């Protein structure tokens, strides 16, 4: 099983962060298929059927990013689809399921979410997406060996705690261990 397939099956939160990172890797290679093959596939030594599967996965992402003009920013549709699913679980935990543990985690993370929303010029509304953006932003700063304030690390830890819990509940839904209320229709 390829890395992205494993993350998709086992940890949806890691999967979304993996997609964020893959988008940035593809951008760093100028969305160039040959460079992707050379730098991301050949260097891993993946052979046979897995090599073909991985190349198709990268090609699909490249195609979507090119066709949607994402050479500099933006996310592939799959990111938004998964964030939408996570948001549905989030809303259920906050309201109909009245999950006190989750509500407490959200309450702790909320001030940081509001602050991050302001820093994004209110261009991102979804609190779950904002948590991903905060966590990924710190990951990028660490890779660049940039200084990160203790306050930022504390807020990102709260985002991480929230998403970890949400990811577990999402997995519970996928495995049939938790049932969400059906959306109401008008």
Residue 8 lies in a domain: yes
Task: Give yes or no: residues 108 and 49 share one domain.
Answer: no
Q: Give dist(CA 19, CA 41) in Å, integer.
A: 16
pTM score of the predicted model: 0.93
Domain that holds residue 56: 3-67
| pLDDT score, position 125 | 92
| pLDDT score, position 120 | 86
pLDDT tens by residue, 99-110: 999 999 999 999
**Arithmetic mean of pLDDT over the chain:** 94
Task: Give yes or no: residues 92 and 164 share one domain.
Answer: yes
Could you tell me which residue, 162 or 2, shows the higher pLDDT?
A: 162
Residue 72 lies in a domain: no
Task: Give yes or no: residues 81 and 164 share one domain.
Answer: yes
Compute the residue count for the chain.
186
pLDDT tens by residue, 131-178: 999 999 999 999 999 999 999 999 999 999 999 999 999 999 999 999
Q: Give dist(CA 160, CA 170) in Å, integer.
A: 15
- Which residues, 6+ apart, have CB-to-CB distance to 2 below 8 Å? 50, 53, 54, 57
Q: Give dist(CA 28, CA 15) in Å, integer.
A: 20
Domain count, the chain: 2
Residue 186 lies in a domain: no
Tokens encoding 186: 């008008």
Q: Give dist(CA 66, CA 165) in Å, integer.
A: 34
Residue 34 lies in a domain: yes
Q: Give the CB-side neighbour count of residue 27, counting CA atoms within 13 A.
A: 15
Distance of CA 169 to the CA centre of its chain: 16
Task: Give yes or no: residues 35 and 57 share one domain.
Answer: yes
Q: Give dist(CA 123, CA 67) in Å, integer.
A: 22
pLDDT tens by residue, 4-38: 999 999 999 999 999 999 999 999 999 999 999 99
């Amino acid at each position: 099983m390829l890395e992205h397939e494993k993350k998709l099956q086992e940890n949806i939160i890691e999967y979304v962060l993996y997609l964020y990172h893959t988008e940035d890797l593809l951008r760093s290679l100028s969305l160039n298929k040959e460079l992707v093959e050379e730098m991301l596939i050949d260097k891993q030594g993946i052979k046979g059927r897995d090599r073909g599967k991985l190349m198709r996965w990268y090609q699909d992402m490249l195609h979507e990013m090119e066709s949607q003009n994402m050479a500099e920013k933006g996310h592939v549709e799959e990111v938004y689809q998964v964030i939408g699913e996570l948001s549905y679980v989030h809303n259920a935990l906050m309201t109909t399921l009245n999950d006190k543990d989750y509500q407490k985690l959200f309450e702790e993370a909320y001030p940081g979410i509001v602050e991050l929303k302001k820093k994004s010029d209110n261009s991102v509304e979804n609190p779950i997406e904002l948590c991903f953006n905060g966590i990924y932003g710190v990951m990028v700063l660490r890779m660049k060996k940039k200084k990160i304030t203790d306050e930022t690390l504390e807020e990102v830890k709260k985002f991480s705690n929230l998403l970890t819990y949400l990811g577990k509940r999402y997995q519970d839904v996928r495995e049939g261990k938790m049932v969400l209320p059906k959306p109401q229709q008008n």
